A and B are shown apart, each in its own frame.
Chain A
Amino acid sequence: MKEESQSPVLRALFYLLVLAVLVFNLFPFFWAVLSSFRPSNDLFSTNLIPTSFTLVHFEHAFADPRFTGSLINSLIVAGVTVLIALAFGSICAYALGRLPFRFKAPVLYLVLVMTMFPQISVLSGLFVLLKNTGLFNSRQGLVLTYMIFTMPFTIWVMTQYFRSLPRELEEAAYVDGASPLTVFWKILLPLTTPGLISTGLLAFIAAWNEFLFALTYTVTDDMKTVPVVINSFSGTSGFETPWGPIMAASMVVTVPLVILVMIFQYRIVAGLTAGAVKG
């Protein structure tokens, strides 16, 4: 599809289409950013450039201890989830991608099925599990349940990474008498660092954004995560929906993700497509 071969009309249409895609993709985000900086009495205006800027909505959001508390909860839950999923997931992936053992194919197949497993179908079962183990309404409980979608995903994507490394790398080490564990730790793991970063980032985003489990398995304000608190934001008056602070809080939790995604664009795309296209 070389553009020189196209007529000017077609080319103009093409760029119009590109523009349409850009506007559709960016406008809602752009509008939310604007709304978060607009004074309340200016919120109903549809001027693309606001007449005045204010930080009052951000002050409101950060003055609410539920919001600041939920930021910390989300950071802890998503962070610990990623660390555990990467630690156990990547050693499992090394075995699946590199070592010979019986039942490898069924285990891999099971992992793939698990990546698509619907969380809603174990909602009540996990509820019982958390109640019985005393982990209901706790950060540890959320981390445990988040393994459902992070662990199989990590194992699957990392297995693809380990498989893609050339055989010769470890053969030389084995000839020198290295143990399989040394080969993993000293040779293969450093080479999969890009994979670990993109998988970890995707798992972090998934855990940071998770809503159903956080909503169902936490009751007290001090255990809630960011999505749950943003959903129940009611501001100081309690009667009117405080759109300004909601948009401000939304941007606080979204902008870092957007920046991360822009920085790690290529790795994220590689991680996202690794499972689906090759599988």
Chain B
Amino acid sequence: MAKEIDLQMRQRRLAWFLVTPAVVIVIMIIGFPLIQVVVDSFLHKKADGSVPPTFAGLGNYQFILTDPDFWQALGVTLIFTVTSVILESVLGLVVALIANSDFKGRGVLRVAILIPWAIPTVVSSKIWQWMFNDIYGVANIVLANLHIIPNKIAWLATPATALPVIIAVDVWKTTPFMSLLLLAGLQLIPGDLYEAASIDGANKVKQFFSLTLPLLLPTLLVALIFRTLDALRVFDIFYVMVGNQPGLETVATYAQQQLVAYLDAGIGSATSMVILIIIMIFVIVYTRFSKTSFE
């Protein structure tokens, strides 16, 4: 007995010893900067320190919330998030169902869907920018040759055509992640359930809606949370494909612009806080929803 208690003591001491370095690193790079962001969001402060900081009260928040550019960026971010997450979920589910069924070439498909995921976002954005180039882009040439469009389109020049292309890049890049998660979820569903359903005379469509979908819901919700949080902070695709083009800013490119281009640490920090609050609202809504649907 004494030996066991001694072992527990040693395990506890070791546990603290092992956890501490990681915790210290995380506090240093998330904890401190986060406090700094909260404090700075209430200050008039230049990022290069050229002017001594002064107290701003809610001035920075007031600036953002009355800035039409911010509201436009928020609108773009929400349209992007809702559209891309819905498309990725539906396509991801289709691909997962295909990859989960028995057919020749399943292995090839499973490797192929990983490729877009492995490509750096900057590179995928460049590839799509090139494909949708106004003069040399393959999209314009093919569409014009097939007489689907009368003239070549400058896709990335206006929000109305640029946003669908940007959403397509995101869907292309992140559907693999969605399909992999859903595929893992599908594989957790016991096969005998389907056999039982077949014996009971349920057809494939009925099996999908009364068996597959409800059992897949927990996985789908987790995947939705991951994707939504990712989409809300989208930066790379927009920055690379359209820069800070008016009407095509997101809340993240807006925040980065405030900090780097205007060197305004106060407004930049306040924007960061607003993004964090928006994301937290989404998390709370999702967790509420998932709780009520399972209890």
Task: Report whether chain A binds chain B.
Answer: yes
- Asked if A174 CB lies within 8 Å of chain B CBs, one says yes
> What range describes how many residues of A lie at the interface?
35 or more
Q: Given A99-B11, A124-B36, A124-B268, answer yes or no on A29-B127 (Cβ-Cβ < 8 Å).
A: yes
- Asked if B63 CB lies within 8 Å of chain A CBs, one says no
**Are A121 and B18 neighbours in the complex by a CB distance under 8 Å?**
no
Closest B-chain residue to A279, C-beta based?
B222
**Are A122 and B98 neighbours in the complex by a CB distance under 8 Å?**
no
**Are A180 and B14 neighbours in the complex by a CB distance under 8 Å?**
yes
- Asked if A114 CB lies within 8 Å of chain B CBs, one says yes
Q: Given A211-B121, A258-B118, answer yes or no on A243-B47 (Cβ-Cβ < 8 Å).
A: no
CA distance A92 to B135 in the complex (A): 54
Q: Given A21-B98, A88-B22, answer yes or no on A122-B118 (Cβ-Cβ < 8 Å).
A: no
Encode A235-266 as 1/0 by CB contact (under 8 A) with B: 00000000100110010011001101110010
Encode B31-64 as 1/0 by CB contact (under 8 A) with A: 0111111001000000101000000000000000
CA distance A5 to B79 in the complex (A): 42
Q: In the complex, how many angstroms separate the beta carbon of A200 from the nearest chain B beta carbon?
A: 15
Residues of B within 8 A of A147 (CB): 25-26, 29
Q: Name B's interface SS.
A: helix
Q: In the complex, how many angstroms separate the beta carbon of B277 from the nearest chain A beta carbon?
A: 9
- Asked if A54 CB lies within 8 Å of chain B CBs, one says no
CA distance A246 to B255 in the complex (A): 28
CA distance A141 to B151 in the complex (A): 48
**Are A114 and B30 neighbours in the complex by a CB distance under 8 Å?**
yes
**Are B276 and A121 neighbours in the complex by a CB distance under 8 Å?**
yes
- Asked if B133 CB lies within 8 Å of chain A CBs, one says yes
Q: In the complex, how many angstroms separate the beta carbon of A127 from the nearest chain B beta carbon?
A: 6
**Are A247 and B119 neighbours in the complex by a CB distance under 8 Å?**
no
Instruction: Give the number of residues in B that approach A within 8 Å (Cβ atoms).
Output: 100
B residues 1-33 near A (Cβ < 8 Å) are 7-8, 10-12, 14-16, 18-19, 21-23, 25-26, 28-30, 32-33
Q: Given A121-B276, A127-B265, answer yes or no on A257-B130 (Cβ-Cβ < 8 Å).
A: no
**Are A29 and B22 neighbours in the complex by a CB distance under 8 Å?**
no
Q: In the complex, how many angstroms separate the beta carbon of B239 from the nearest chain A beta carbon?
A: 8
**Are A180 and B10 neighbours in the complex by a CB distance under 8 Å?**
yes
CA distance A35 to B25 in the complex (A): 43
**Are A28 and B235 neighbours in the complex by a CB distance under 8 Å?**
no
Q: In the complex, how many angstroms separate the beta carbon of A211 from the nearest chain B beta carbon?
A: 5
Residues of B within 8 A of A216 (CB): 256, 259-260
Q: Given A29-B115, A114-B30, answer yes or no on A124-B47 (Cβ-Cβ < 8 Å).
A: yes
- Asked if B89 CB lies within 8 Å of chain A CBs, one says no
- Contacts A28-B172, A123-B256, A268-B114 supplied; 20 other A-B pairs, CB < 8 Å: A1-B100, A21-B112, A21-B113, A28-B131, A92-B23, A101-B15, A120-B272, A121-B34, A121-B37, A121-B279, A122-B34, A122-B272, A124-B268, A126-B33, A145-B29, A180-B7, A215-B239, A250-B126, A269-B180, A276-B223
